[in-house]
Amino acid sequence: MTTSPPRDAERGAPRLADIAAQAEVSEATASRVLNGKAGVAAATRRRVLAALDVLGYERPVRLKRRSAGLVGLVIPELTNPIFPAFAQVVEQVLAGHGYTPMLCTQLPGGATEDELVEQLEERGVSGIVFLSGLHADASADHGRYRELAGRGVPFVLINGYNADIPVSCVSADDRAAVRMAVRHLADLGHERIGLAIGPTRYVPSRRKAEGFAAALHEHVGLAPGEAEPFVQRTLFTVEGGAAAAGALLDRGCTAVVCGSDMMALGAVRAARQRGLTVPGDVSVVGFDDSPLIAFTDPPLTTVRQPVQAMASAAVGALLEEINGNPVQRTEFVFQPELVVRGSTAQVRPKG
């Protein structure tokens, strides 16, 4: 049975006791927040305001603060669940600091990144967050970012560091991610391990390939130059992962490390289409730990990007820029985490 939030029957006013209970504060503290009084910690104040939202009450006019400004978030697409995951955290952190986020998505046939940036500038944004954009493509003209900086627009980058772009960049350690995946598979007895990643021109893909070669040398004994036949460069999609995995299976691989969870799901599909089981015949490792990936069949072993920490750091660096404070314009590298689930297992003995 669904019930409406309790209200004063005559005035429709929120009941203080309910708000205090929801926010886990005293009624006196809730009262101070609702009346705009000082002497309440910022975190506590946010909890009380969140309680109003959760219970369905409209905030009193005096508590409706004006936006500190607009901040654009430019992302490639929404079909890969890791991008909405990043977007949600970025937007939450921005909102917590009083800024209004504007999500800009590059849909096929839609506005380009440059066109989206132009639209954001026309709206007078305070800054921009770029997630896996053209900055991550080594073949792209990065002069657009230097020109953006020259126009005085603060911005930060997530995933895809380029030393020629003079801003802060937040990245996951792609080399370490693949190294830990290969080490996990080698510990399970796998020796013929393949890597399915995106095109070389993308910085994260290039770094993953470098980590893969180093890991095969360390854990399997292959010389660095011998790793290349076990690397398949493909599209960042389920279909791309399936095509890459098919080629790697033809080369006798018993395990496949993928550059994204979506590609890993494609690798699982490719194995099953050949009558193979995962993880009985083929072990598969993804990358990202996208939402709901733990509920796939089998639950996917993957390398988790620290989305919360990365997105929060990116917004923090951007706000420092917006406020005119000096920020170290370099790459901040965050360590990923191997999450072992059901898609990897001991290699089957030959014969």
Domain assignment of residue 4, yes or no: no
**149 and 168 in a common domain:** yes
Asked if 69 contacts 322 with a C-beta cutoff of 8 angstroms, the reply is yes
Give residue 262's pLDDT: 96
Could you tell me the CATH number of the domain that includes residue 25?
1.10.260.40
Do 163 and 124 lie in one domain? The reply is: yes
The answer to whether residues 37 and 108 belong to one domain is no
- Claim: this prediction has a pTM higher than 0.85: no
DSSP 159: S
φ/ψ (deg, to 5) at 146 = -65, -40
**Predicted local distance difference test score (pLDDT) of residue 104:** 94
Q: Is residue 346 part of a domain?
A: no
Which of 204, 173, 178 is CA-nearest to residue 76? 204
Residue 5 placed within a domain? no
**What are the tokens at 289?**
């730990």
Show Cβ contacts of residue 146 under 8 Å, excluding neighbours closer than 6 positions: 164, 165, 166
Query: Looking at the 3D structure of the chain, how many domains does it have?
Result: 3
Q: Is 287 helix (H, G, I), strand (E, B) or coil?
A: strand
Here the CATH number for the domain that contains residue 217 is: 3.40.50.2300
The answer as to whether 112 is a domain residue is yes
Q: For residues 249 and 261, what is the distance between their CA atoms, to the nearest angstrom? A: 18
Same domain, 109 and 28: no
Classify residue 2: in a domain, yes or no.
Answer: no
Mean pLDDT by 10 residues, the chain (351 residues): 40 75 90 82 82 80 69 91 94 88 86 93 94 93 93 95 92 98 98 96 96 95 89 95 97 97 97 97 96 93 97 95 87 97 91 58
76, 24: one domain? no
Residue 330 lies in a domain: yes
Confidence at residue 327, expressed as pLDDT on a 0 to 100 scale? 82
Two structure tokens written together for 117: 């940036």
Of 287, 305, 323, the position where a domain reaches its end is 305
Which domain, by its residues, includes 27? 16-63
Residue 351 lies in a domain: no
Backbone angles phi, psi at 37, to 5 degrees: -85, 155
Q: Helices 27-34 and 42-55, interaxial angle, to 10°? A: 90
Residues 145 and 32 in one domain: no
Regarding whether 37 and 20 lie in a shared domain, the answer is: yes
Same domain, 51 and 73: no
Q: Which two tokens stand for residue 309?
A: 């920490």
Say yes or no: 216 and 97 in one domain.
Answer: no
Would residue 7 count as lying in a domain?
no
Q: What pLDDT digit, counting tens, does each position of 164-211 carry?
A: 898 999 999 999 999 999 999 999 999 999 999 999 999 999 999 999
pLDDT score recorded for residue 106 = 85
Q: What pLDDT, on the 0 to 100 scale, is given for residue 108?
A: 76
Residues 75 and 167 in one domain: yes
On whether both 29 and 89 belong to a single domain, the answer is: no
User: Does 165 share its domain with 199?
Assistant: no
